[in-house]
Structure 1
Amino acid sequence: MNAENDMLTTPLTADLLRGALDLERTERGLLPHRLPARARAQCDDGQLAMAESQPSGVRLVFRTRATVVELDTLPTKRVYVGVPPRPDGVYDLLVDGRLVDQGGVRGGDTLTLDMATGNARTESGPVGTLRFDGLPGREKDVEIWLPHNETTQLVALRTDAPVEPVVDQGRKVWLHHGSSISQGSDAASPSTTWPALAASLGGVELINLGLGGSALLDPFTARAMRDTPADLISVKIGINLVNADLMRLRAFAPAVHGFLDTVREGHPTTPLLVVSPVLCPIHEDTPGPSAPDLEELAAGRLRFRAAGDPAERASGKLTLGDVRRELSRLVRQRAVDDPHLYHLDGRDLYGEADAAELPLPDQLHPDAATHRRIGTRFAELVFGGGGPFAAEGA
């Protein structure tokens, strides 16, 4: 059945997808969302809309004897004015949990962003096709991890043998929320973002609510987490609050309390880990906002700088140091009445020695090697012996 006209088309339905909180039927395909419709309706921020529609951690999962798999998708490519073109988003093919192939899809829509002016425009493009062949002809579990940094509408799934949903294997579900680092910015591929690596090492199912530029203690995100079934929960808080210059010290602790209170409404005894920011030298002692370095941009490189003034800390502007101190204090305070609440200093995942060896290329985001290091360390510290999730029977 390898002839093209013998390929079987399988409807794209929710039972074949994992990692999405909502699926939107559009005129052109099926669009996975990582925030539910009610949450999306409460914020019209373009950055959030882009981030939550980029399917980090979302994957097609099915069982089949197929040796050929084709997936038609409509991606949205990002282009930054004055910066060399970004590579196409990567799709990872896993067979029985092992990465065996990768691919990309050409075509699609194009979102052009001007970092100097903030302007954006979108141009429509054609659907593209991803093809994997040479797969073993035995029964196997197949996963196609969608690009973590490229909005992707699913159009059609074709195989040369029938597919069926994978039966629930009873693995615990880990729900994680964080910033672009958690979403996977500058990771090599979707199954090698640090949360995906940590989930694989920890033997859990990942729901990744890492939202680039949008880990801002939004109440609608907390409600989405409250309402999502999960066995393990983590929230990584801080860098976006600083680089967006979103709030002052007076508002920060009450906002964290409110966020955690909301999560606890739906998960009163679920292991809940609060993670402070990894090291980011430009914002350790200098407040936000973060801004593109225009000199670097003129040279064709996208890098960031801290645009705040250290003296502004006196008026309550936040630095990463301030955030870490407050989170540590706040978790200690809450843990008196919440024995399932834990804290992890982000510098244990990526600290000063790591920054000296593996500096952040654009001053904000880790590269692929650093994602691997953070994911491995998180698995060791959190899922490993003596870690908070291991202690809770993960």
Structure 2
Amino acid sequence: MNTELTTIPITAELVRGALELERTEHGLLTRRLPAWARAQFSDLQLSMVEPQSSGVRLALRTRATTVELDALPTKRGFAGIPPLPDGGYDLLVDGELAARTTVPGGNRLVLDATTGGSELLPGDPGTARFTGLPDRLKDVEIWLPHNEVTELVALRADAPVEPLPDRGRPVWLHHGSSISHGSNATAPTGIWPAVAALGGGVELVNLGFGGSALLDPFTARAMRDTPADLISVKIGINLVNSDSMRVRTFVPAVHGFLDTVREGHPETPLLVISPIHCPIHEDTPGPGAPDFSSGRLSFRATGDPAEVAQGRLTLRVIREELARVVRERAQTDPNLRYLDGEELYGPEDHAELPLPDALHPDAAAHQRIGERFAALATAEGGFFTAR
């Protein structure tokens, strides 16, 4: 094998899981919402998480034994607590994890949870280097960090590279909260949607946005316009912990979101998933609040359970309303289904694998949720087999 590396142009054909690529002074920034949608919000939280590369990967076919990717990451941290670990770059060969590495350095975005302010500390690009790959023609995927913004700078290999051809797998378009985004997972292929997609043999497009699954119309329109064979929306936790709706506005908003998705995908299998078990918000409304009293980030609910009767949302209320909405709509929409999130992670799972920050699953729980979803989805008549 030739040990000399050749620079490979990074084109849209090599990138999967991003809705858009934005040209920057360094290279290409992966985007998970199109420019027209980004122009319709000014929220700092969504602006921060939308370009993070959850579910985004390079997909190649090559004989290369060495592959290098130069990238400029933007890493997020909180003032006053130790930096988070560097995001991972997972390399898969023919669908199996073969190597994992990180890119040191990069930009660092430091958030102040008490003031809401932030400071961007500029840095330099680094290199994810993979060596010793099998000397044969193979499918190679490089999954980018789910919890970092990634600008793709340069790709090099010691053999020709071509875009991974269509393998006939259905495209699964998913939208959800930070749990779908991958919070507390430790690797890009360890977030539950990636675990489910790899286990179920589907191509993932992950529109999981930390703190931002709020039934936004622009997200529904982006999903409407994105080609997909399977679609799912995981609704609930952000609506509770943001305290942004009441039952009166929640139910019509769900209908409107689903109506918009259906404009572009009238007969595509569409799955509505309710929240996983989360004790702080099961019967206590939001808003949620960060808690650093233990020296690390955790969360607590601050609402009054007595106000549920006046329409305040809890996870229990949301599950009941979502099940009802889907049951009623399914009378005229046979391709619409409902999945109770507690089937993926329920009270017994919480007793065994508690949420470490009281809100997000840890790596082991992400794995369990993904495996359970894949098992349900690939069973006879399941979501992944519903086309």
String of CA shifts for 1:277-312, please: whole Å, max 9, x gaps: 00000000000111011422xxx2110000111122
Select the residue among 31, 34, 50 that pairs with 2:32: 34
CA distance, structure 1, for counterparts of residue 93 and residue 201 of structure 2: 16
Alignment check: 8 A CA contact 2:287 2:301 kept: yes
Question: Greater shift after overlay, 257-266 or 371-380?
Answer: 371-380
Q: Deviation per CA, 1:143-179, whole angstroms, max 9, x where unpaired?
A: 1000000000000001111111111111110101000
Q: CA deviation at 1:138?
A: 1.0
Contact 2:200 2:384 in 1 (8 A): no
Partner of 1:85: 83
- Other-structure match for 2:188: 190
Of the three residues 61, 64, 78, the one matched with 1:63 is 61
Taking the TM superposition and a 5 Å limit, the aligned residue runs for 1:371-386 are 371-386=366-381
- How far is 1:271 from its partner? 0.4
- Residue 330 of structure 1 aligns with which residue? 325
Residues 61-85 of structure 1: per-residue CA shift (max 9 Å, x gap) = 1111111111110000112112221
Q: Distance in 1 between matches of 2:376 and 2:127?
A: 40
Contact 1:215 / 1:241 at 8 angstroms: preserved in 2? yes
Larger deviation, residues 212-221 vs 162-171: 162-171
Partner of 1:106: 104
Name the SS of the counterpart of 2:180 in structure 1.
Answer: helix
Q: How does 1:138-287 map to 2 (within 5 A)?
A: 138-287=136-285
How many angstroms apart in 1 are the aligned matches of 2:31 and 2:384? 27
Contact 1:2–1:68 (8 Å) recurs in 2: no
Q: Distance in 2 between matches of 1:143 and 1:295?
A: 41
Provide structure 1 residue ranges, at least 5 long, that are not aligned to the other structure.
Answer: none
Residue 291 of structure 1 pairs with residue 289 of structure 2: yes
Answer whether contact 1:116 1:294 (CA < 8 A) is retained.
no
2:211–2:238 Cα contact (<8 Å) kept? yes
Q: Stretches of 4+ moved more than 6 A in 1?
A: none
Normalised by the length of structure 1, the TM-score is: 0.96
Match 2:312 to one of 311, 317, 320: 317
Matched residue, 1:121: 119
2:365 aligned residue: 370
Kindly state the Cα deviation for residue 382 of structure 1 after the two structures are TM-superposed: 2.1
Q: Any idea what the Cα deviations from partners look like across 1:320-371, whole Å, max 9, x if unmatched?
A: 0111110011101100110000000000000010000000000000001001
Give the 3-state SS of the residue equivalent to 2:206 in structure 1.
strand
How many angstroms apart in 2 are the aligned matches of 1:34 and 1:97? Answer: 23
Q: Are the structure 2 counterparts of residues 116 and 352 from structure 1 closer, same or farther at C-alpha, using a change threshold of 3 Å?
A: same
Greater Cα offset, 188-197 or 353-362: 188-197
Indicate if the aligned counterparts of 1:60 and 1:145 stay in contact, CA closer than 8 A: yes
1:357 equivalent to 2:352? Answer yes
Shift of 1:2: 5.4
The residue aligned with 2:43 is 45
SS of residue matched to 1:295: coil
Q: Take 1:383 and 1:237, find their aligned partners in 2: how far apart are those partners?
A: 22
* Stretch of structure 1 that moved more, 302-311 or 358-367: 302-311
Number of equivalent positions: 387
Q: 2:303 aligns with which of 308, 315, 318?
A: 308
For residues 72 and 2 of structure 1, what CA distance do their matches in structure 2 show?
20
Cα distance in structure 2, aligned partners of 1:200 and 1:66: 23
CA RMSD of aligned residues (A): 1.0
Distance 2:383 2:197 in 1: 14
Contact 1:183–1:211 under 8 Å retained in 2: yes
- Structure 2 residue ranges without an equivalent (≥5): none
1:212 aligned counterpart, secondary structure: coil
- Alpha-carbon distance between aligned partners in 2 of 1:369 and 1:101, rounded to the nearest angstrom: 19
Identity of aligned residues (%): 69
Whole-angstrom distance in 1 between the partners of 2:121 and 2:217: 32
1 CA distance for matches of 2:196 and 2:127? 30
Which letter does structure 2 place at the counterpart of 1:382?
Answer: A
CA distance in 1, matches of 2:38, 2:383: 32
